[in-house]
Amino acid sequence: MSKHSGTSPRRILTVLFTLILIMVFISLMNGSYELTLQEVFHTLLQMNENSDYHLVIFEFRLPRIVLAGAVGFSLGIAGAVLQGITKNGLADPGILGINAGAGTAIVLFMFVFQAQVTSSGWTAVMIRPLFGLAGGLAAAFIIFVIAKKNGILDPQRLLLTGIAIGSGFGALTLYLSLKMNASDFEMATVWLSGSIYNANWIFIVSILPWVIVLTPVIYKKASKLDYFQLEEDSMKSLGLMVEREKNILLLTSIGLVSASVSVSGSIGFIGLMAPHIAKRMVGIHHRNVIPVCGAVGMLLVITSDFIAKTAFAPIEIPVGIVISIIGVPYFLYLLMKEKA
């Protein structure tokens, strides 16, 4: 049972996945080509032979929804891990600069190698998460080294260092993108703002292995995240191998972030908001928080993407901008709360 609520985590997850399912069908029905609920059901069940319906749902809308769900799930869980190991409620892959590091590495890949792999879309998309992982790890290493004070991670210093390093990687990314030709620059700019409008099944195949492999590792170590709220000496006295566990959790969370950035660009604030919302629902124990974080992240990104594609139709705005409109005030609220 939740410490703050009489509702069980299982019931919370049932409600969240019901809301996700509702948003999925709303998103499948609405767009520049309107469909009824019956037409959507019949097309999904292969009971409708209309090729236009099949094209709209299976080639355009469904891949976009599935990708949005996978990205939201990954970023939500990664945010919970980062907040747990840093003991900082303001930690987020975007705010800490990990998104920026992964984005820089992927833009470097697009700039240097894309021409050699354009003949195989699969090769390009499957390699990108590995470049993202390298960039994310580089950013995290620099941030954590600088943020340590007398060998101990300082939460305030971590936040300031993350913002500074993120800005540095952002400047490097802009420099690289400006060296691209006009069409590649436009593609990189839209991608970096956080966009999944060009989602396809190849992108989904590239992110799913990371989610399937890394999520169970994080969930298995969820109870260890509870111990990270103690002082480091107390953790060691309990027989916990602090650095080893921290490195494993950090590596898995950065892996999820990097895979997400590789297919959607830099979408911030999901890793910040999802853990706070989840903890209000099910309490502070990470065995309950982790799955709820994933579900909240899915709901946030799927809903935001629906708003992004319909609010100013026929013009679409990047989903990252919609999430930032919600996330920036929430971040400022948490910052004021921390100061108080």
| pLDDT tens, residue by residue, 278-310 | 999 999 999 999 999 999 999 999 999 999 988
Measured CA to CA, the distance from residue 324 to residue 300 in angstroms comes to 11
Residues of the chain with pLDDT under 50: 1-6, 115-120
Measured CA to CA, the distance from residue 258 to residue 16 in angstroms comes to 25
CATH architecture of 9-339: Orthogonal Bundle (1.10)
| Radius of gyration for the alpha carbons in the chain, expressed in angstroms and rounded | 20
Q: How many helices (H) and strands (E) does the chain have?
A: 16, 2
What's residue 135's pLDDT?
92
CA neighbor of 87 nearest in space, from 136, 137, 36, 159: 159
Can you read off the two tokens belonging to residue 136?
């994310």
One-character DSSP codes across 212-258:
HHHHHHHHHTHHHHHHTTS-HHHHHHTT--HHHHHHHHHHHHHHHHH
| Cβ–Cβ < 8 Å for 134, 108 | no
Can you read off the two tokens belonging to residue 146?
């600088």
Domain ranges for the chain: 9-339
What pTM, to 2 d.p., does this model score? 0.90
Torsional class of 7: left (φ above 0), alpha (ψ -120 to 50), beta (otherwise): beta
Measured CA to CA, the distance from residue 76 to residue 272 in angstroms comes to 8
| Cβ–Cβ < 8 Å for 291, 220 | no
Prior bond of 318 cis (ω within 30°): no
